[in-house]
Amino acid sequence: MNKLTYLSIYLSIYLSIYLSIYLSIYLSIYLSIYLSIYLSIYLSIYYLSIYLSIYLSIYLSIYLSIYLSIYLSIYLAIYLSIYLSIYLSIYLSIYLSIYLSIYLSIYLSIYLSIYLSIYLSIYLSIYLSIYLSIYLSIYLSIYLSIYLSIYLSIYLSIYLSIYLSIYLSIYLSIYLSIYLSIYRLSLSSYRLSIYLLSLLAIYLSIYLSSIYLSIYHSI
């Protein structure tokens, strides 16, 4: 009985030691396998996630940079085209307005200068011709009236002096002839009377012409 108990105790101790060693080895192997599998899966997932995150970040950054560059290029192209079109339209409108204003001012100034020169030349020629014609007509009328009046006065004075001298000489000769015929003077006295009458007529004509010439010089 003592041997059986001893064996049982021995076996129990042995089995417990064996099982503990075996279980510890088994558990260690199992745990190591399990942990290795778990860790490999975990690490693979972790590293894959890191790799994927890096890859996705790089891919997304490249994609986003390309997308943003395309978007920005299109946006900037549209914006710049609109801005440049507005700017160019404003610039061209201002430039054209200034250019057209300068061109029109030069053209109008040349046109107005030519038009005014032609108009003024025609107007001045007509005005001067009318003015000169009126002035010359008035001047000539006054001058001719004065000249004709003087000329007529001189002419009339000479004519009247000659006429009066002839008239007076004829009148006086007739008067003296009648007088002498009445008083029966001699022929010599008759000739003397005619001579005196002619001298008197010449004297009267000279006297009257001198009077009219003095009037002419006084005018």
Give the separation between CA 16 and CA 23, rounded to whole angstroms. 10
Angle between helix axes 2-183 and 187-218 (nearest 10 degrees) is 170
d(CA 66, CA 134): 95
Model pLDDT for residues 62-101, shown as the tens digit of each residue: 887 788 778 887 887 788 778 877 888 888 889 888 988 8
- The answer on pLDDT for 120 being more than 80 is yes
Q: Domain containing 190: what range?
A: 2-218
Residue type for position 22: Y
Cα dist. 90→84, 85, 95, 100 in Å? 10, 8, 8, 15
pLDDT value at residue 188: 60
Q: Dump pLDDT digits (tens) for 23-73.
A: 888 888 888 888 888 878 887 777 777 887 788 778 877 887 788 778 887
- Is this structure's pTM higher than 0.85? no
Total domains in the chain come to 1
Answer whether 194's CB lies under 8 Å from 162's CB. no
DSSP assignments along 42-64, one per residue: HHHHHHHHHHHHHHHHHHHHHHH
CB 197 within 8 A of CB 176: yes
Q: What share of the chain is helix, strand, coil (3-state, %, to 5)?
A: 100, 0, 0
